[in-house]
Amino acid sequence: AQSVTQPDIHITVSEGASLELRCNYSYGATPYLFWYVQSPGQGLQLLLKYFSGDTLVQGIKGFEAEFKRSQSSFNLRKPSVHWSDAAEYFCAVVGYSGAGSYQLTFGKGTKLSVIP
Amino acid sequence: EADIYQTPRYLVIGTGKKITLECSQTMGHDKMYWYQQDPGMELHLIHYSYGVNSTEKGDLSSESTVSRIRTEHFPLTLESARPSHTSQYLCASSAFSGTVNYGYTFGSGTRLTVV
């Protein structure tokens, strides 16, 4: 079964600073990887996804993520954080769970706070 | 523009009441899911469906039940609500083509409080 680890529970950055949120996954084959953002009391919005091909993927709101197979990582980055980026960020992986079914597994999330 | 709709957004209800959380999607996705998320915590899969008349329980045990009579509709029901059911419930759907996953779309969630 697949798993996702987000090592940082809470990160605080200054507005305008760069950001990197870490995500490590465990899965035996090539994974499908996602980053979602959740604002307080809201549902999840897809930021970006990786299926295959170019290992650097661009997403919405100026985010990007890089898939590194050798490190089993899919870290999310943004060069300059805006106050509106304060939210909870979830990394997720889809893996084959047997009997023709696939399952989406989430990390525990990283809460991002932005200080002016 | 949301393609997956959940109602109600917020619900406060008394213990012992029967409730149904609605989820509908307009994308024609075969696969639909219900996740439960406590405040500040990760999401846990409680139910999923791979098509009409197909429902399965997820990783997290739940006293809720689901049905899938139409492709676009995947309601979740609690026969007798208890305070321990207080949580946020997120509905999602996804599209697959063979082994290719085209991603998951989430609704805005229903925040349930049982008093």
Best to test chain A binding among B6, B43, B44 (most A CBs inside 10 Å): B43
CA distance B105 to chain A (A): 7
Q: Give the model confidence (pLDDT) of B16-53 as tens digits.
A: 999 999 999 998 888 899 999 987 788 888 999 989 99
Q: Is the dihedral of CA A100, B5, B103, A9 positive or negative?
A: negative
Instruction: State residue B101's pLDDT score.
Output: 61
CA distance B112 to chain A (A): 11
- With an 8 Å Cβ cutoff, are B96 and A42 in contact? no
Name the residue facing B42 among A49, A51, A108 (closest C-beta).
A108
**Alpha carbon distance A114, B93 (integer Å):** 31
Return the C-alpha torsion angle A7, B44, B86, B47, nearest 10: 170
The residue of chain A with its CA nearest to that of B88 is: A41
Q: Give the model confidence (pLDDT) of B45-91 as tens digits.
A: 899 998 999 999 988 888 999 999 999 999 999 999 999 999 999 99
User: Any idea which residue has 């939210």 for tokens?
Assistant: A87
How far CA B101 is from CA of A6, A115, B11, B76, in Å, comes to 22, 37, 33, 24
The residue of chain B with its CA nearest to that of A87 is: B40
Average pLDDT of every residue of chain A: 90
Q: Which positions of chain A have pLDDT values less than 50?
A: none
**Alpha carbon distance B94, B31 (integer Å):** 5
**DSSP assigned state of B79:** S
- With an 8 Å Cβ cutoff, are A42 and B41 in contact? no
**Alpha carbon distance B72, B30 (integer Å):** 8
Q: State yes or no: pLDDT of B100 exceeds 90.
A: no
Instruction: State residue B104's pLDDT score.
Output: 83
Instruction: State residue A20's pLDDT score.
Output: 97
Q: Give the model confidence (pLDDT) of A37-62 as tens digits.
A: 998 877 888 899 998 888 999 999 99
